[in-house]
Structure formats: structure tokens, C-alpha cells
Amino acid sequence: MSSQFNYCQSALNVINTEAAAISQLSQYIDATFTETCELLIECKGKVIVTGMGKSGHIANKIAATLASTGTPAFFVHPAEASHGDLGMIERGDVVIALSNSGESDEILALYPVLKRLSIPIIAMTSNDNSTMAREAKISLCIKVDKEACPLGLAPTSSTTASLVMGDAIAVALLEAKGFTADDFALSHPGGSLGRKLLLRISDIMHKGNDVPSVQQTETISDALLEVSSKGLGMTAVNNGSKLVGIFTDGDLRRILDARIDIHQTPISEVMTQRCVTINRHILAAEALAVMENKKVNGLIVVNEQQEPVGAFNMHDLLRAGVL
């Protein structure tokens, strides 16, 4: 169905308006922002984030971002707080209260109780002269020139600015605390993110009798049987217990072209020496980077004595969700 309305131009207007609103936030990154971060990093309890309506949705996301980046936090709905949920807030906590106008009745109703408990309040509003801002310990301004909504009614630019300011706080705290990728992974054990950050080669490698292995004195045909039976497309070649080489499907293609007698020739004559190996403690994601860099499909895992203790290939990484 054709239309005379320019949807793309409308969308571009929104994007440009909200981009300008985000750009304006830089003027509020000042001593007050530093004071906010210092209050939060010194918090001995939890960070409680609250807001009504659209501000509540943003507050919920800010709380989730803080929690996942090393700052214990959760969202409390201000209306529910007045009917019992306020019991989740204790001395030692810090409250971040979001409201564009700074006059949210539901949030202001909580102020007397929070002050009685000596809980500091950080107000994020667009009006430093609002009741919420004046009565808070810290007033963090998030004022924008205009909403992206052409009617100036639907919270758009203002909620985007609030969200970005929340991200700025969370990341500043993350960096100040020295929060690492390993720390992040501990709060994200599920899904591909957790697998990439937490999974180590020891978790996915084939072990014991499942590790393809032959002695260097055995024939090529013996090695082929081992490769076939273990199904990894390769086998370790050992001298006693020590790894001295590897034989892969690629090596097989090369010897077939050379018309070598596979029943008489020792595997030591055609194996790949000085092969790439890896230790069991390395992250699976790091192992994947090594394999891609070296252009290999599988690796032998060795211990400190260069003895094979495991093996894995790209299919194992795929099954583990690392790829």
C-alpha cells in the first residue's frame, strides 16, 4: 500500500532530536556527577532505583545495569513501596529517584521515611528547582531541550537522556572499581556471554581414552585407525608419554598425493612436528582465537611436562556455544 507520509524522515527527526539531547548531557558531567559516583561507590548497602511510569521503566534498566557491573542494585516501584515494599530499603542503602518533572507524588511520599532512615537520595530530574531535587542529598540534572515527540508530550528524549546518564554512572563505577570481564561473567553465567567468558578448555576437551594418541613408531595405517575411531580429525603422536607431533586429515591428504606406503611407513616420518598446543586452563574463547590465527581445526591439550591430556576441535567449540 502506497503512502504520502515520509516515515523515514519522521524517524530521522526522532534520531536527530534524541542525539542532540544526549550530546547536551556532557554539561552535567561535573562535580555533582563526581559526588554522585563517590556516594554510590561508598555505599555499604544496596542502590535502590525508583521511578514512576516511563521513568520507572528506565529506572528498572539502570538498576539492572548497575547490578550486572558490580554495584548491587534493584528497582523498587514507588507506589508499591508505599504499600509494603519500602521494607526492602534499609539503612546503608542509597536511593536514586527518577522523575522528569521532579514532582512525582508517589516518590515524594517516600521522602519522609527515607530521610528518617538517613538514606541519601540522588534525584535525577530535569528541574533543579523541583521538590524532589531540593529535598535530595544530590540533584543530578538531566534536562533536555525538547522531546522527540512532535506534541512534546510522550517521554522520548528525556527518557533516553536518563538512560544514558544511568549508563554513564554504571560504567564510571565499573572502571573505578576495576571490574573485570571475569567479574562480569560471574553475574552472566547463562547464555552465550557466560559461555564465552567462563568456559575453559578443561570444560570441553576430550579426556582419557577419548584422546587420540599413537606412538611415533606406529605406522600411518595405525594412526589412521586412531583418527577414525576418535573422530576428531587428528591424533597426537608421542614418544613415550611426551608429545612429539600431530597427524591430521590435512597430513593424510598430503601423503596420499605422495603415494607413500601407509602400512610400512612410521607415522614419525609424515607427522607435523612443532605443532600448536594449548593448556587446559585457557579460556575457550582464547583457544578459538588461536585456532583462527593458526588456521587449524583442532588442538592437542598438554600439561607442563608436554604430555597430552586432552584434545578438541571446532565442533566441540560449536557444541559448547563458543562459536
If asked whether residues 81 and 142 sit together in one domain, one would say: yes
Count up the domains in the chain and report the number: 2
From residue 100, alpha-carbon distances to 35, 75, 79, 122 in Å are 21, 17, 17, 13
Which grid cell sits at 245? Answer: 607431533
Quick check: is 193 in a domain?
Answer: no
If asked whether residues 167 and 313 sit together in one domain, one would say: no
Which grid cell sits at 296? Answer: 587449524
75 residue type, one letter: F
Residue with cell string 607435523:
272
**C-alpha of 57 from chain center:** 21
CB atoms within 10 A of CB 305: 9
- pTM beyond 0.85: the answer is no
Which grid cell sits at 36? Answer: 554522585
Residue with cell string 527515607:
114
Q: What is the pLDDT along the chain (323 residues), one digit of tens a residue?
A: 556 899 999 999 999 999 999 999 999 999 999 999 999 999 999 999 999 999 999 999 999 999 988 899 999 999 998 887 888 899 999 999 999 999 999 999 999 999 999 999 999 999 999 999 999 999 999 999 999 998 887 899 999 999 999 999 999 999 998 877 666 666 655 555 666 667 889 999 999 999 999 999 999 999 999 999 999 999 999 999 999 999 998 888 888 777 788 899 999 999 999 899 999 999 888 899 999 999 999 999 999 999 999 999 999 988 887 77
d(CA 109, CA 309): 64
d(CA 36, CA 26): 15
Domain range holding 247? Answer: 201-319
If asked whether residues 223 and 171 sit together in one domain, one would say: no
Residue with cell string 580429525:
233
